[in-house]
Amino acid sequence: MALFVQVLVSGILLGGLYALMALGLALVWGVLNIVNLSHGALIMLGAYVTYFLVTGAHFDPFAALPIAAAVLFAIGYAIQRGILNLVIRGPMFNTLLITFGIEVVLMYLAQLWFSADYRTINPGYAGASYAVGGITIPFVQLIAFAIAIGLTAAMWLFLLHSRTGRGIRAAAQNLVAARLYGVSPKRIYALTFGLGAALAGVAGGLYGTVSQINPYIGGALTAKSFVIAIIGGLDNPLWVIVGGLFLGVIESLTALFIGPTYRDVASFGILVLILIVRPSGLLGRTA
Amino acid sequence: MYAFLFFIAFSFLPAPAWAQQVTLGASVQLTGPVANTGRYYKDAYEFAAEKINAAGGIAIGSTRHRIALKILDNQSDVNLSVRQYVQLLSQDKVNFLLGPFASNFVLADSSIAEKTRVPMVQGGGASDQIYSRGYTHVFGTLPAASNYFGSTIDAMTRLDPRPRTVALLYADDAFDVSVAKGTRELLKRAGLKTVIDERYSTNASDFSVLLSRIKSGKVDAVLVAGHETEVLNFIRQAKSLGVSPMLQSFTVGVPSADFRQALGRDANGASGMTAWLPSPALKDQWFGDAEKFAREWKARYGYEPDYHAAAGVAAVEAFVNAIQSAGSVDPQKVRDALAKVSFDSLYGHVSFNDQGQISLPQIMIQIQDGKVVPIYAGKEFLNKLQYPLAPWDKR
């Protein structure tokens, strides 16, 4: 029983991090209709920014996260304004190809700049944990989980209540009407992509505190984010959280009861099922 | 005296006075997820070729041949590496083949060598599957994967208190499956009880479930066969979940410098194995000895060599020895000479069994205070093993 609860807790904590990774992808997808295949590479860059702030400038990893977010926001904003905006009217396949290209470029630049060495963000308290009734809750993962939930809630409130947030939603729902009301799509799109990248940056910093970093971690993270965005649907950031938790728990239970090799079978099997049964997402509105 | 005069004359000769050259080709992971280990092979091939050329190259009859290298980057993609080996032979016309890193690559690439009857000497794949196919043109300088944990299990039976329960975890790739197959047998023979025997997917990043099972199953010793990224994640998560068995051993990573760098103090206590340590007792015709080699390598490339590097150098040296004793660059003659090579190198004594694989004992090692300490080499304990392991916060 304790084992089951422990695995469940681990799954939930993992799911929080998954959700944060997927949040930026879902936002960009929902508003710009771009499936950003470079999302994982942005997570990887966020991890490196955090890593260098921690090892080079002796930042606390969590204090470094806002800086990682700001740096990635700038990178995201520039990518959208400088590259993606040029093809935003083109077919979806073109944007897919371009983001794939960006991923490859970022990956190889990262190896060139940072080498292929494996790195970890390893503060003194990295291994600390709480023991509650025989269950171990890793401190860093708990904080990462809290940040993921907090950021998602903040994102939700921002989209719902702020003027810019309403502009983003308006652009997603009806671009013509939004323009009539004075929304500048160029600005809104760049802002949205920047926000997506900033979220990836924070996710990367947190990922580095629980896992190892190298220039090639991005691909798998993009795939995972994609699955979560599909499960949660693109309407509401809160559903992305649920999607992340759902995936984290399913993966952990699969590993426990069926075997660790079947984790990805479970997560991508769910993806296929959902695409067949509920294409707008397990939790999203049906069209 | 004549030798001395010859040496003087030789050292004043301009370098490009070569009559001919022998080209060795390889496809290595210079980019992509395993670039971190792939670089050992590129650096080893280049370093060895340079040293041997500086000492006069390969002597075939009375002419001196320079070693030339043709190294391609396979981007950590097996399919690309197969195509590149075909290209090396058909287009680049290399004479012989050196190997890539990792068993799954060697398994695929060595088929090209076998099919074209051009010998390959590789120091990157240890899986027993490579040598169980009856191939005659593939030689390997890494000892058998099935025996990687041999010295560790031997040492375990001599520990006090003796570990009683063992967890064996392994990734689902060619190398680690071979390790697991052999280890299972060794554990049974040693009378140790395997309570968890579980396979996980390559590049797994989350080990919390396996770790929770290890914790609740009260496992004494954990043996992990996996690649470096997996081992790093495993150790970090073991710490954060407070999983601290009496002994933890890993097939890969422990002897490598960047593994210790990435983990810092958390690397302490981790044990593993290596077929090579940079000892001055390992004499080498071109490098002096292994210690000197390690020092020069560090100065030249900026990182410490491990057994991958030494196995790569040994592969080049095996070719040089074989070509010289064959007195020819004919692939069949060199292949037959390779089957008979027997020489001492900075890596150890190099000779191949009937399947083409080297036989070297694995030395059990442990990281203590950030340094690799040899623990057990098959007969006796060389240094004291930190056992049972202290809790994570005291390492």
Minimal Cα distance from B209: which residue of A?
A7
Interface test with B, best of A135, A136, A222, A268 (most B CBs within 10 A): A136
Query: How far is it, in rounded angstroms, from Cα B312 to Cα B98?
Result: 8
The verdict on a CB contact (< 8 Å) between B209 and A10 is yes
pLDDT recorded at residue B14? 47
Chains A, B: CB pairs < 8 Å: 118
pLDDT recorded at residue A91? 85
Query: Please, are residues B126 and B146 in contact by the beta-carbon 8 Å criterion?
Result: no
* Element holding B334 (H helix, E strand): helix B331-340
The verdict on a CB contact (< 8 Å) between B201 and A14 is no
Task: Please check the confidence at residue B318 and state whether its pLDDT lies above 70.
Answer: yes
How confident is the model over B20-42, as pLDDT tens digits?
999 999 999 999 989 999 999 99
The dihedral sign for the CA sequence B266, B268, B272, B274: positive
Closest CA of chain B from A37, distance in Å: 17
Chain A partners within 8 Å of B393 (Cβ): 127
Minimal Cα distance from B207: which residue of A?
A260
pLDDT recorded at residue B393? 85
Instruction: Please give the average per-residue pLDDT across B119-140, as a whole number.
Output: 96
B97 has which bridge partners?
B25, B120
Vertex A181 angle, CA A176 and A184, to 5°: 70
Query: How far is it, in rounded angstroms, from Cα B348 to Cα B346?
Result: 6
How confident is the model over A21-30, as pLDDT tens digits?
999 999 999 8
pLDDT recorded at residue A152? 87
Closest CA of chain B from A255, distance in Å: 7
Query: Please, are residues B269 and B366 in contact by the beta-carbon 8 Å criterion?
Result: yes
* Element holding B351 (H helix, E strand): none
Pairing between β-strand B20-28 and β-strand B96-98 as defined by DSSP bridges? parallel
B248 has which bridge partners?
B222
Chain A partners within 8 Å of B199 (Cβ): 259-261
Query: Please, are residues B276 and B310 in contact by the beta-carbon 8 Å criterion?
Result: yes
For A3, which of B36, B201, B213 is closest by C-beta distance? B213
Cα–Cα distance list, B363 to B58, B127, B307 (Å) = 32, 18, 11
Long-range contacts of B381-389 (CB under 8 A, 24+ apart): B381/B155, B381/B158, B385/B155, B385/B159, B385/B271, B386/B268, B386/B269, B387/B159, B387/B246, B387/B247, B388/B161, B388/B246, B388/B247, B389/B244, B389/B245, B389/B246, B389/B247, B389/B248, B389/B269
- CB hemisphere CA count around B160 (13 angstroms): 2
Q: At B2, is the pLDDT very low, low, confident or very high (cuts 50, 70, 90)?
A: low
Query: Please, are residues B151 and B362 in contact by the beta-carbon 8 Å criterion?
Result: yes
Closest CA of chain A from B190, distance in Å: 27
pLDDT recorded at residue A283? 66
For B209, which of A2, A252, A264 is closest by C-beta distance? A252
How confident is the model over B33-90, as pLDDT tens digits?
899 999 999 999 999 999 999 999 999 988 999 999 999 999 999 999 999 999 999 9
Q: Which two tokens mark B394?
A: 């005291």
The rounded percent of chain B whose pLDDT value lies above 70 is 96
> Cα B191 to the chain's mean position, in Å?
29
Chain A partners within 8 Å of B241 (Cβ): 10, 129, 136, 138
Query: Is ipTM strictly over 0.95?
Result: no
Minimal Cα distance from A140: which residue of B?
B240
Helix (H/G/I), strand (E/B), else coil: B199: strand
The verdict on a CB contact (< 8 Å) between A260 and B204 is yes
Interface test with A, best of B205, B214, B304 (most A CBs within 10 A): B205
Minimal Cα distance from B173: which residue of A?
A261
Interface test with A, best of B208, B219, B224 (most A CBs within 10 A): B208
Chain-wide mean pLDDT for chain B? Answer: 93
Minimal Cα distance from B38: which residue of A?
A116
The verdict on a CB contact (< 8 Å) between A118 and B204 is no
Query: Please, are residues A170 and A176 in contact by the beta-carbon 8 Å criterion?
Result: no
This model's pTM is above 0.80: yes
pLDDT recorded at residue A278? 81
Closest CA of chain A from B187, distance in Å: 22
Minimal Cα distance from A121: which residue of B?
B262
pLDDT recorded at residue A174? 86
DSSP state of B143: P
Minimal Cα distance from B394: which residue of A?
A127
pLDDT recorded at residue A286? 47
Query: How far is it, in rounded angstroms, from Cα B219 to Cα B206?
Result: 19
The verdict on a CB contact (< 8 Å) between B236 and A120 is yes
Minimal Cα distance from B244: which residue of A?
A127
pLDDT recorded at residue A127? 79
Closest CA to A202 of A139, A122, A146, A118: A146
Task: Please check the confidence at residue B15 and state whether its pLDDT lies above 60.
Answer: no
pLDDT recorded at residue B102? 94
For B209, which of A7, A117, A129 is closest by C-beta distance? A7
Chain A partners within 8 Å of B230 (Cβ): none
Please classify residue B150 by burial: count the beta carbons closer than 10 Å to its beta carbon, then call 0-12 exposed, 13-18 middle and 19+ buried: buried
Query: Please, are residues B269 and B243 in contact by the beta-carbon 8 Å criterion?
Result: no
The verdict on a CB contact (< 8 Å) between B201 and A3 is no
Q: Which residues of B touch A (CB under 8 A)?
A: 31-33, 35-36, 39, 76, 172, 198-201, 203-206, 208-210, 212-213, 215-216, 228-229, 232-233, 236-237, 239-242, 258-259, 261-264, 266, 392-393
Interface test with B, best of A1, A5, A10, A109 (most B CBs within 10 A): A10
Interface test with A, best of B41, B195, B210, B236 (most A CBs within 10 A): B236
How confident is the model over B336-362, as pLDDT tens digits?
999 999 999 999 999 999 999 999 999
pLDDT recorded at residue B3? 52
Cα–Cα distance list, A39 to A34, A202, A220 (Å) = 11, 12, 10
Chain B partners within 8 Å of A263 (Cβ): 201, 204, 206
Query: How far is it, in rounded angstroms, from Cα B347 to Cα B337?
Result: 20
pLDDT recorded at residue B130? 96
The verdict on a CB contact (< 8 Å) between A140 and B240 is yes
Closest CA of chain B from A18, distance in Å: 12
Helix (H/G/I), strand (E/B), else coil: B374: strand
Instruction: Please give the average per-residue pLDDT across B12-27, as a whole number.
Output: 76
pLDDT recorded at residue A236? 83
The verdict on a CB contact (< 8 Å) between A259 and B198 is yes
Q: Which two tokens mark B201?
A: 């997917």
Amino acid at A148: A
Task: Please check the confidence at residue B143 and state whether its pLDDT lies above 60.
Answer: yes
The verdict on a CB contact (< 8 Å) between B200 and A261 is yes
Minimal Cα distance from A249: which residue of B?
B209
pLDDT recorded at residue B44? 98
Residues of chain A with pLDDT under 70: 283-287
Helix (H/G/I), strand (E/B), else coil: A240: helix
H helical segments located in B26-77:
35-54
- CB hemisphere CA count around A55 (13 angstroms): 16
The verdict on a CB contact (< 8 Å) between A127 and B229 is no
Pairing between β-strand B221-225 and β-strand B193-200 as defined by DSSP bridges? unpaired
